[in-house]
Copies of this chain bind each other. A is one copy, B any other.
Amino acid sequence: MLYIIGLGLNLKGISVEGFEIVKRCKKIYLEGYTVNFPYAGNVLREFIGKKIELADREKVEGLEIVDEAKKKDVALLVYGAPLIATTHIALLDEAKKSRVKCKVIHAGSVLDAIAETGLQLYKFGKIASMPVWKKNFEPTSFTDVIKDNQKIRAHSLILVDIGLPFEKAIEQLEKALQDSGIKLGQFLVCSMLGTKNKKIYLRTLKEFKEYKIRKPFCFIIPGKMHFVEEGFLRGFRD
């Protein structure tokens, strides 16, 4: 049997159910290539009390984990909620086709934790994700998502890919928004949500250039706000 288990946002963010299951699995993988963890791997290992093997992109996308789960109980641990990445949905699909039983154990994710900004989860639109730019490859499709959301006055969450430092992400954001004609006033940067080192800031792009922000972090561009949301956000100017 294959278990895809969400770790939640901090070391003890895994659900009681998930913790019980991982304790009895024969093989435990940790998906480590789509996220920046706010804790070290050996700390997690100690907390779980078992051997954990790091699963790289090849391992997960190659779907061999499903094969392995034919013979024994295999757990794939995923930071945050287990099914945000499409690869993990592909695992579900492959398991179904191979008639391997598969169970998903949910946990809180950045999609839940952004509610701590005071912005209503109801009013977020599609999620944008910002990739790392390379020489001669600077994809800006995340600005289309922001534009779409602004059309319906929804808030925009921008998830930033692993490997992109804060200063670089701010630079990319500025350039992409300029090119797409989106005007940006104050917006939110959320760092380490769901952990005890959580920080939320409301600033302008120019102001953020002076900041050092710890990983993992994300951007939120507010849409139309209720006055209660506006009041709440003001607290993050301090």
State the A residues within 8 Å of B (CB). 6, 8-17, 19-20, 81-84, 86, 89-90, 92-93, 96, 104, 106-109, 111-113, 115-116, 118, 120-127, 129, 148-149, 151-152, 154, 194, 228, 231-232, 235
* Chain B residues within 8 Å of A126, by CB: 122-125, 152, 154
Q: Which residues of B contact A109 (CB under 8 A)?
A: 106, 108, 112
Chain B residue nearest to A109 in the complex (CB):
B112
Is the pair A116, B152 in contact by a Cβ cutoff of 8 Å?
no
- Closest B residue, CB atoms, query A196: B103
> Which B residues are CB-close (under 8 A) to A113?
104, 106
CA–CA, A12 and B22, complex, Å: 14
Known: A12-B17, A111-B112, A112-B83. Is A118-B89 also a contact (CB below 8 A)?
yes
Closest Cβ of chain B to A187, distance in Å, is: 18
User: Which chain B residues border A122 with CB–CB below 8 Å?
Assistant: 84, 126-127, 129
Which residue, of A8, A120, A148, has the highest number of chain B Cβ atoms within 10 A? Answer: A8
Distance in angstroms between the alpha carbons of A60 and B158 in the assembled complex: 32
Of all chain B residues, the one with the shortest Cβ separation from A80 is B112
State whether A121 and B127 are in contact (beta carbons under 8 Å apart), knowing that A16-B15, A108-B108 are contacts in the complex: yes
Q: Are B152 and A83 in contact (CB under 8 A)?
A: no
Contacts of A83 in B (CB 8 A): 112, 115-116, 121
**Complex-state Cα separation, A84 to B121, whole angstroms:** 6
Q: Which of B14, B104, B149 contacts A116 (CB 8 A)?
A: B104
Contact between B81 and A108, CB atoms less than 8 A apart: yes
Q: Are A235 and B96 in contact (CB under 8 A)?
A: yes
Closest to A129 in B: B122
Q: Which 7 A-B pairs have the closest CB atoms?
A: A106-B108, A83-B115, A12-B17, A148-B152, A81-B112, A12-B16, A122-B127
Bound together, the chains give a CA A96 to CA B235 distance in angstroms of 9
Task: Give complex CA distance A235, B17 in Å.
Answer: 27
State whether A6 touches B108 (Cβ < 8 A). yes
Quick one: which of B8, B129, B151, B154 contacts A106, CB cutoff 8 A?
Answer: B8
In the bound complex, CA of A90 to CA of B83 (Å): 29
